[in-house]
Amino acid sequence: MTQDNLTAVLYKPKDLRLEQTPIPEIDEDEVLLRMDCVGICGSDVHYWQTGACGAFVMHEPMIMGHEASGVVAKVSPYKNNALFAGAVAREVDIRGIFRYVNEYPIALSMVASGQINVKPLVSHHYSLEETLEAYEVARRGLGIKVMIHVQPRDANNPQS
């Protein structure tokens, strides 16, 4: 496995840096993901601009990016590896009003089956090296969803 782990680290408001960080060791109940892409959301922009998002205030450098997807790269020897083979982890953010709360599984099923194509909602794509430009586009509200690709685009979900 590669030792390259270029990471977006926020040190203080408006001080976002790309730097190498150690690849973490996993505990017996964990898996390690090789990141594919990360979406920028409003909370990321708030942290970048002000060092806070609502009541949550950063007090030390923090690694940015919680809307991430990736491929399982390493599984604890205590886990059943077959359960994770080829698995992809994604954070899905479906917004709406509370009355649609029970529609969430239906929406996921429709996206997974291809009945609904959500790819056009991702309006901007950037490489990891273009992180600051991506954050600026998100801050200015110029896109619907801004994505930062850690791997070459579509490396983990090739077009058929």
Domain contains 117: no
Q: How many CA atoms does the CB half-sphere of 65 hold within 13 Å?
A: 27
Token reading at 155: 């490396």
Structural domain for 66, as ranges: 6-95+124-149
Domain contains 154: no
Domain contains 54: yes
- Any bridge partners for residue 56, and if so which? 53
Amino acid at 76: S
CA distance 156 to 40: 19
Q: Which of 18-27, 80-89, 133-142, 151-160 has the highest mean pLDDT?
A: 133-142
64 and 9 in contact (C-beta within 8 Å)?
Answer: yes
- What are the φ and ψ backbone dihedral angles of 123, each rounded to 5 degrees? -90, -20
Overall number of domains in the chain:
1
Domain contains 158: no
What are the tens digits of pLDDT across the range 57-101?
999 999 998 888 888 888 877 656 555 555 554 544 444 455 556
What are the tens digits of pLDDT across the range 1-39?
557 788 999 999 999 999 999 988 888 878 888 888 899
pTM: 0.74
- Give me the pLDDT at residue 27, please: 84
